[in-house]
Chain A
């Protein structure tokens, strides 16, 4: 790429900058316009009108983590498939469509195996994962 071609990236940076500017400007306006009468009661976290009990920062269920892990695997798979998908049509026009199809299908079939495994073992269940896996492990 020549330096002039990089100018095509300008809008991305400009929009991000505008987002930051809008945020800062909005804050500035609200500092100017909004009343400021802080009180302790006002700034307690909302808990249906009761006194808040303890902190909200408590240990969360491992399910969220499992979802995150499965997500990353699929994310990486789709990242790998994007370049192949974008040249698929070109390959087909050149007469190598069958070859590209076999490559892509064998890649996807491994992906399907993964999702089938997780489904079978109950890792995709939100609530039941404990009961199901306990049953399977017996």
Chain B
């Protein structure tokens, strides 16, 4: 019962905020809606039992990337962050008339229904199962995988991050005068 509720809340948060990100005209607001959407995704991970991934999602995206985005917006200085040009709903009318929109909607509906039908068959053939494993928690499992099977990837990821750090430092450094 609680899992379903958590799923519904997270899904609502994710989808609602994602729509708001696209629709809102103010870039700061859309950053904050993005934060809500990412939190919702963390909730979705939690409903899958992937607690470590959920918290990583919060740690890296909410704590890091969103703040970086806010700083990046502040770099532009933006006298007004509100876009005057367009939003999703008022998209340039020259792109089509009501017939093209109607046909597009119809095609979209057909594709959607076909996909639902296909996925229904697959999920009927392979119902969701809970696999037991030997580890007390997902963290231990991830740790064992990182240190045994995927140890090369683990070490290389640190080199990748070193490259990213150096690259970030170089790009952000002011250019030499003259």
A13 with B168, Cβ < 8 A, contacts A59-B77, A64-B74 known: no
Number of interface residues of B (CB under 8 A): 53
Q: Is the interface of A mostly helix, strand, loop or mixed?
A: helix
CA distance A121 to B173 in the complex (A): 10
Contact between A107 and B143, CB atoms less than 8 A apart: no
CA distance A103 to B145 in the complex (A): 13
Q: Is the interface of B mostly helix, strand, loop or mixed?
A: helix
CB of A122, distance to nearest CB on chain B (Å)? 9
Contact between B79 and A55, CB atoms less than 8 A apart: yes
Q: Determine if A9 is an interface residue (Cβ-Cβ < 8 Å).
A: yes
Q: Indicate which residue in A66, A70, A84 contacts B143 across the interface (CB closer than 8 Å).
A: A84
Contact between A62 and B172, CB atoms less than 8 A apart: yes
Residues of A within 8 A of B (CB): 1-3, 6-7, 9-10, 13, 55, 57-60, 62, 64-66, 68-73, 75-77, 79-80, 82-87, 90-91, 100, 103, 106-107, 110-111, 113-114, 117-118, 121, 123, 129-130, 133-134, 137-138
Residues of B within 8 A of A (CB): 1-3, 6, 9, 46-47, 49, 52, 56, 59-60, 63-65, 67-68, 71-72, 74-81, 130, 139-140, 142-144, 146-147, 151, 154-155, 157-159, 161-162, 164-166, 168-169, 172-174, 176-177
